Structure 1
Amino acid sequence: MNQEELKQHISSIMKDNNVGTLATVKNNKPHTRYMTFQHDENLTLFTPTDRETYKAEEIDENPFVHILLGYEGEGYGDGFLEIQGQANIRDDQDIKDRVWNDHMKHWLGGKEDPDYIVLEIFPETIRLMNESDETPQQLDM
């Protein structure tokens, strides 16, 4: 698969799997949690969170993150993505409006909640894993 085909396939996996893990680093130790993700045409990822969380503090100190998306537990042939990148904390209203959905009311007060932030993640490498004998395949951003 060429790089453009790989990019399209990765986008498809991202679209079909919006829950994954986000790993950050604190004191040289990983900290992982489940998050929901959206992505754009450039494969930039967006995930909502609260400003008063460990992940926001950890990203302030070290922006490098690792994300796993995909894998339904079916074994070999069940593709998933390993994403390495850098996260940026965004609190501008345009991005908050774009990412918001009403399910988030359980954790955040609303779109205008001052503690509501969005993590914008710029992938540096995305590896397609476990899908066939041709994987892993890597897309360098």
Structure 2
Amino acid sequence: MAEKNMHNQEALDKLKSIVDQIDIGTICSFSQESPYPHGVPMSRQEVDNEGNIWYICSAESETYKNIEKDPKVSVFYADPKNYTFLSINGTASLSRDQDRIDRYWNKMMEGWFEKGKEDPNIRLLRVSPRDAHYWDSNSNMIVNLFQMLKATITGNTEDIGKEGDLNL
């Protein structure tokens, strides 16, 4: 894979494109009671103009309780079919901004919050990336296998894809 580090708007566009493409990321929060991270899959609501990734969570969840004590998080996105991956480290913040909750609310949320969008346990989780790293082949598995075989024969890894740091 060729290395292509990205900065500023280009990095933000790449982050947004991968998160929007994959949607579900595993958010890992950290508990003082365990040396291991607590990971849960969550669907993103939005990547804003600053690169913050927004989710809806419950104030009763372990993720929420962990972040209240330690805002450090890692988020992992993976699309193995297309060989696209994203690893993010950052800080999380929690809020109850009703305007934003109204904007993000959809029918699927009703399965998680029985009292609707006025449920007192609804919280917004905002992840602000500090560093991120991506792997992206821009093609499907069959093309990737062909490109890897070709790279093995020729030694040219440019066609396999790109990976690098996203400096936001």
- TM-score higher than 0.5 here? yes
Does 2:50 align with 1:47? no
String of CA shifts for 1:37-76, please: whole Å, max 9, x gaps.
12112221111111111111100011000001232x23xx
Determine helix, strand or coil for the equivalent of 1:46. strand
Q: Which of the pair has the greater relative contact order for Cα pairs under 8 Å at 6+ separation?
A: 2
Deviation of the 1:133 alpha carbon: 5.2
Q: Distance in 2 between matches of 1:64 and 1:139?
A: 18
- Percent identity over the alignment is 26
Asked whether the equivalents of residues 22 and 34 of structure 1 are also in contact (C-alpha less than 8 Å), the reply is yes
Q: Distance in 2 between matches of 1:29 and 1:106?
A: 29
2:40 aligned residue: 33
Asked whether the equivalents of residues 25 and 42 of structure 2 are also in contact (C-alpha less than 8 Å), the reply is yes
TM-score normalised by the chain length of structure 2:
0.74
Asked whether the equivalents of residues 73 and 90 of structure 2 are also in contact (C-alpha less than 8 Å), the reply is yes
Q: Which has the larger radius of gyration?
A: 2
Q: Residue 90 of structure 1: which of 95, 100, 117 is its match?
A: 95
Determine helix, strand or coil for the equivalent of 1:123. strand
Deviates more, 1:40-49 or 1:53-62: 40-49
Determine helix, strand or coil for the equivalent of 1:119. strand
TM-score normalised by the chain length of structure 1:
0.87
Asked whether the equivalents of residues 11 and 167 of structure 2 are also in contact (C-alpha less than 8 Å), the reply is no
Q: Distance in 2 between matches of 1:101 and 1:19?
A: 16
1:49-64 to 2 correspondences below 5 Å: 49-64=57-72
String of CA shifts for 1:98-141, please: whole Å, max 9, x gaps.
22211010011211111111101111111112534541x11223
Q: Distance in 1 between matches of 2:22 and 2:162?
A: 21
Asked whether the equivalents of residues 85 and 121 of structure 1 are also in contact (C-alpha less than 8 Å), the reply is yes
Asked whether the equivalents of residues 13 and 70 of structure 1 are also in contact (C-alpha less than 8 Å), the reply is no
Q: Distance in 1 between matches of 2:101 and 2:111?
A: 16
Deviation of the 1:36 alpha carbon: 0.6
Q: Distance in 1 between matches of 2:103 and 2:77?
A: 21
2:131 aligned residue: 125
Asked whether the equivalents of residues 22 and 68 of structure 1 are also in contact (C-alpha less than 8 Å), the reply is yes
Determine helix, strand or coil for the equivalent of 2:116. coil
Asked whether the equivalents of residues 135 and 162 of structure 2 are also in contact (C-alpha less than 8 Å), the reply is no
Asked whether the equivalents of residues 67 and 82 of structure 1 are also in contact (C-alpha less than 8 Å), the reply is yes
Q: Which amino acid aligns with 1:60?
A: E
Q: Which amino acid aligns with 1:31?
A: H
